[in-house]
Amino acid sequence: MSMKDPGRTKSIPHSTQHTASGRWQEARGLLLAVSSLLLIASCRKEPIYELNDVGIGPPSANKDQPKTNEQYVSILYANLFQNGLNASEVYGIGQCIESIGDKELAREVIISNFMNKPGVMIPSDSAMRADIDAFVIDTYRRFLVRDPDEAERTWFHNRIEADPNITPEIVYFSFAMSDEYCFY
């Protein structure tokens, strides 16, 4: 007796093999079609955005040259009075700053002296509080020759709005005493 029993082996009919193979072919074709559609749909040109080079740094980063005493006095007078100071007065006040030694103290005295003179052009408290943002922007442009950034504008707006004791004189004094104001 042979080991193989021909009566016991079953063969799969040819028609069943063809149906399974056909189903696989259909599924494979459908998968290929869906993949192709997804590939075509996802292959669109992405928009290209152009970016401008922007230097990152504080707004006062380019101000690295200190003002001379004469420049400081002349510019301060022009900022407060919207008018020029004659050369002999500029020279005399510059010499006064040199003679004191403590330049910060000398500047405080000069600012106070200028603010107490008639003709100084400072907005009223009610004008400042009527449009705080315009006051802040105008003050930055007047003293620092630039616009405030958003953080500076917001800080000053909130500070002035929250404290009724802040006057335009105090704000102008602070700007005139700032480190940035001493440079160009």
Strand partners, 66: 183
Share of the chain above pLDDT 70, in %: 82
List the single range of 30-34, 37-41, 75-79, 86-90 with lowest mean pLDDT: 37-41
User: Tell me, what's the pLDDT at 46?
Assistant: 76
Q: Over the chain, what is the mean pLDDT? A: 86
Read off the pLDDT band of 4 (50, 70, 90): low
Q: Which residue did the predictor score with more confidence, 30 or 8?
A: 30
Mean pLDDT of 73-77: 96
How far is residue 78's CA from residue 75's CA, in Å, rounded to a whole number?
5
What stretches of 80-119 adopt beta strand conformation (E)?
none
Distances (CA, A) of 25 to 30, 31, 37: 9, 10, 18
pLDDT tens, residue by residue, 43-64: 667 778 887 877 666 666 677 8
User: What pLDDT score was predicted for residue 43?
Assistant: 64
Name the helix (H) or strand (E) containing 125: helix 125-130
Nearest Cα neighbor of 113 from 129, 132, 100, 126 is 100
pLDDT band at 6 (very low <50, low <70, confident <90, very high): low
List, for residues 81-133, the tens digit of each pLDDT value: 999 999 999 999 999 999 988 999 999 999 999 999 999 999 999 999 999 99
**Global pTM value:** 0.67
Cβ contact 67:103 at 8 Å:
no
Count of CB atoms within 10 A of residue 67's CB?
A: 16
Which of 57, 58, 60 lies closest to 184 in space, CA to CA? 60
Name the β-bridge partners of 183: 66
